[in-house]
Structure 1
Amino acid sequence: MARKGTLIRSLTVLAAGAALLAAALYWIPELRGGSPDRTRITVIIKSQTQSMEFWEVLSDGVEVAAREFDVDVDIVGPDRETQIERQIELVEQALRDKPDAVVMAATDYNRLVPYAERVDAAGIPVLTVDSALNSDVTRSFIATDNMEAGRKVGMKMAELAGDRPRSKIAIISFVRGTSSQIDRELGVRAVLEDDERFEIVGTYYSDGDEEKAYETTKQLLLKHTDLTGIVGLNEPSSVGAGRAIKELGAVGRITLVGFDSSIDEVKLLEEGVMQATVVQRPFNMGYLGVKTAVEVLRGVKVPKRIDTGSVVITKDNIYEEENQKLLFPFVER
């Protein structure tokens, strides 16, 4: 019995030692498939919901660049674009994790600034994609020129109005306070407010939620029976507005010019519900965000601003090869 007891105690000690060894090995990066020498980049996007194709495509660009430049990336983000506090928490977590660089799309132009500055002060370069920060802390801002893209929306609306003597326009925007929202609206207004044919009845915020954009547009169409045009400033705002126009039988009476690209927006164009949409290049944003971060870490001088461009898509040019690549970017996984 004594020998049996000794054997049991020995096995217990061995099991405990094995558990401790396994735990220790887990925290050695090389044995988890990582390496302490590999570059680590945290990418903080505005929303991880799968209902927004924009962020999925941007994430595809991030992943492709990570493979090409042999770096580890961690893509994180709140569930919704309105969850600014959650994004702040993710920036603070990045500060604790100490990656080599942080690439972020700011949910708020001002509120994220002190947190991004703390990351920079810790020696971690900060870059922004899609939406900027009200600070010089970022090494590079990679995005659409949203002011210019807004002007394209306004010019297309003006073109589609033709000889109509008077047009009432509503703007369906997304999250108040983001730099992209601010600049797009300024671009639209710069064109339409200088054209005496147009009256902008107001800007309404969907909070990046398609259902809210749909309900808001329905109420607008019922209240303003003389409304002639709607501008949607992002994907959910445009799709929600299109759904309301269809449901209320306003196709042909309301001119809809949207923003971004998705399967639903392509359908709206094909059905004649939406007359045009300004398409960004989110894949390029994600790819260049990682590529530029790698260059910063290598000591390369990078541009302070990188414009990824935008294109006006209509039913007439939707099937052109270059536009098909923008609308349906293919990524080999």
Structure 2
Amino acid sequence: MIVIRRIFYLITFLAFLLTGTLTLYYGKETFHLGSTSKVNAVPDEKAYHFVLIPEELSNEYWHLVEEGARDAAKLHDVYLEFLGPKQADIDEHLKTIDMAIAGGVDGIMTQGISDQEFTPLLNKAVKNGIPVVTVDTDAPNSNREVYIGTDNYYAGFLAGKALIQDTKGDQDVAIITGRFEASHQKLRVQGFKDAVQNEKRINIIAVEESNITKIGAMESTYKLLKEHPDLNAFYGTSALDGIGIAQVVERLKSTEGIYIMGFDTLPDTLSYIEKGTIDATVVQFPYQMGYQAVEKLIQIKEGSNKQESIQHTKTEIFRKEDLPLLPASIKGGLNR
């Protein structure tokens, strides 16, 4: 019995050792999150291995960020991966960051959507020697090296001032925001509120959530128009919100007399501006964010300590008279 027991313990130990070895190996070389994420080993000829982790892979806005990052990566001989949840999912987003840390990448670019959840994980990356650049949404209480992206409060403030400039008479405004808990969405809402707070003719009636989907924006718009039939202005704070609002407004009633402020320059948004359904949109420069984020990570890896911790990209208001929006404009002047 003693011999059998010893053999059993030996087999158990060897199985544990083998499992641990494989875990370490695959943690370094590859990992999988369902079918959405896989971090690969960096090819020998590449200088660095960076990972761009967005809020959701299927969002056209993030494809523009990816395009900028890939152009910079190609120029500087960097191996870049674009990984994350297909649809917005904070848990999957956090898992992807954690797996990138386990994979020992050379740098991470991501959002800091929720300070409480993201800050500890970004700090873990930095503690493990992996520099972090936040893109689009900052995590100011973390140890990230640099934030590159929109001043989201200022973007909301610009939207509010544009509404004041573009309208006359009383305005009953509904705000549709991507996610209530997302820090950048909160800033875009607060900036807008502060811009219009002293305008007695402008009243914010309600704030609804779209969950960063066009369908969610449409559902919120239907609900708001049913509950508040006198609404005559909408402000959408994420890229698909204005599109969803515009679709519902066109279906339910004449677009004349309803002001719509969107966000970003997706093709559908530009089409609605050309038709006159969307009156204006806040323009960010996601290509510029991705491009600069890669360059900043390279500078950090090469020992540059002269990094401003917050580097805002441009923000503008775009109207029908600004059409057409040229590729160089979308790239924020980065036509390389």
Match for 2:108 among 102, 113, 116?
A: 102
Deviation at 1:208, TM superposition (A): 0.3
Structure 2 counterpart of 1:12: none
Shift in alpha-carbon separation, 1:175–1:320, aligned structure 2, 3 A: closer
Name the SS for the 2:229 alignment partner. coil
CA distance in 1, matches of 2:178, 2:156: 14
The residue identity in structure 2 corresponding to 1:100 is D
Q: How does 1:10-159 map to 2 (within 5 A)?
A: 34-35=43-44, 38-49=47-58, 52-81=59-88, 83-159=89-165
Q: Note the residue ranges of structure 1 that are not aligned, 5 or more in a row.
A: 1-26
Q: 1:328 to 1:141 in 2, by over 3 A?
A: closer
Give the distance between the partners of 1:197 and 1:135, measured in 2 at CA.
38
* CA pair 35-247 structure 1, distance change in 2 beyond 3 A: same
Q: Select 1:305's aligned residue among 301, 310, 332.
A: 310
Structure 1 residue 69, shift from structure 2 partner:
1.2
CA offsets 1:77-120 (integer angstroms, 9 cap, x no match): 11122x00001110110111011111112332331111111111
Q: Give 1:125's aligned amino acid.
A: P
Task: Kindly provide the amino acid, as one letter, of the partner of residue 205 in structure 2.
Answer: V
CA contact (8 A) 1:109 1:131 kept: no
1:179-194 matches, within 5 Å, as 179-194=183-198
* Cα distance, 1:71 vs structure 2: 1.0
CA distance in 1, matches of 2:251, 2:160: 25
TM-score normalised by L of structure 1: 0.84
1:270 matched residue in structure 2: 274
Q: Which amino acid aligns with 1:239?
A: I
Q: CA 1:320–1:326 in structure 2 vs 1: closer, same or farther (change >3 Å)?
A: closer
Give the deviation of 1:327 after TM superposition. 4.6
Distance 1:77 1:320 in 2: 29
The TM-score normalised by the length of structure 2 is 0.83
Instruction: Give the % identical residues.
Output: 24
> How far, CA to CA, are the matches of 1:331 and 1:315 in structure 2?
23
Secondary structure of 1:112's aligned partner: helix
Number of aligned positions between the proteins: 295
* Equivalent residues of 1:230, 1:255 under 8 A apart: yes
Instruction: Note if contact 2:288-2:332 (Cα within 8 Å) is conserved in structure 1.
Output: no
SS at match of 1:235: coil
Is contact 1:129-1:143 (8 Å) kept? yes
On the 8 A contact 2:108/2:130 being kept in 1, the answer is yes
Indicate the residue corresponding to 2:329 in structure 1.
326
Following TM superposition, by how much is the alpha carbon of 1:283 offset from its aligned partner in structure 2, in angstroms?
0.2
Secondary structure in structure 2 of the residue aligned to 1:73: strand
Of the three residues 243, 247, 254, the one matched with 1:243 is 247
Partner Cα separation in structure 1 for residue 322 and residue 42 of structure 2: 46
**Closer, same or farther: CA 176–326 of 1 in aligned 2, 3 Å:** farther
Query: What amino acid is aligned across from residue 61 of structure 1 in structure 2?
Result: G
Cross-structure match for 1:257:
261
> In structure 2, how many angstroms separate the alpha carbons of the residues matched to 1:214 and 1:327?
26
Identify if the C-alpha distance between structure 1 residues 192 and 250 changes in structure 2 by more than 3 Å, giving closer, same or farther.
farther
More deviation in 194-203 or 254-263?
194-203
Is the 2:56–2:62 Cα contact (8 Å) retained in structure 1?
yes
Match runs of 1:208-227 below 5 Å: 208-227=212-231
DSSP 3-state at the match of 2:115:
coil
8 Å Cα contact 1:173/1:205 also seen in 2 = yes
Inter-partner Cα distance in structure 2 for 1:159 and 1:239? 22
Q: Contact 1:43–1:74 (CA<8 Å) still a contact in 2?
A: yes
Alignment match of 1:290 (pick from 272, 288, 294): 294
Report if aligned partners of 2:213, 2:241 keep a CA contact under 8 Å in 1: yes
1:36 offset after TM fit, Å? 7.6
State the AA in 2 paired with 1:84.
I
CA drift at 1:250: 3.5
For 1:79, give the aligned amino acid.
K
Contact 1:87-1:107 within 8 A present in 2 as well: no
CA distance in 2, matches of 1:92, 1:221: 42
Code of the residue aligned with 1:45 in structure 2: it is P
Q: For residues 57 and 37 of structure 1, what CA distance do their matches in structure 2 show?
A: 23
CA spacing shift, 1:288–1:264, aligned 2, 3 Å: same
Q: Which has the larger radius of gyration?
A: 1
* Separation in 2, partners of 1:217, 1:73: 38
